[in-house]
């Protein structure tokens, strides 16, 4: 992995309070689940909007 990608991975892992290995496993599993389900549709969304939506969903579920 590039230095930039590694830095992003470590920052996201720290933000989520998980290890980089756990985060990689999560991403790989999500990718495989998507591939296996046949749902190959690509959707473009701003990262900030995605984070906002996730935060909203988590707050509502709590």
Which pLDDT does position 33 carry in this prediction?
82
Which pLDDT does position 39 carry in this prediction?
62
Which pLDDT does position 32 carry in this prediction?
83
CA distances 58 to 16, 51, 61, Å, are 13, 10, 5
Report how far residue 41's alpha carbon sits from residue 51's, in angstroms, rounded to the nearest whole number: 20
Which pLDDT does position 46 carry in this prediction?
87
Instruction: Check: CB of residue 12 under 8 Å from CB of residue 23.
Output: yes
The domain segmentation of the chain, as residue ranges, is 3-61
Q: 0.85 exceeded by the pTM? A: no
Which pLDDT tens digit goes with each residue over 3-50? 998 999 999 999 999 999 999 999 898 888 877 777 667 778 888 888
Which pLDDT does position 8 carry in this prediction?
93
What is the longest distance spanned by two Cα atoms in the chain? 37
Instruction: Check: CB of residue 13 under 8 Å from CB of residue 19.
Output: yes
């Amino acid at each position: 992995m590039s230095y930039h990608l590694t830095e992003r991975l470590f920052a996201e892992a720290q933000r989520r309070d998980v290890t980089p290995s756990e985060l990689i496993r999560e991403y790989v599993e999500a990718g495989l689940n998507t591939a296996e389900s046949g749902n190959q549709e690509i959707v473009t969304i701003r990262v900030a909007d995605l984070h906002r939506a996730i935060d909203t969903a988590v707050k509502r579920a709590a």
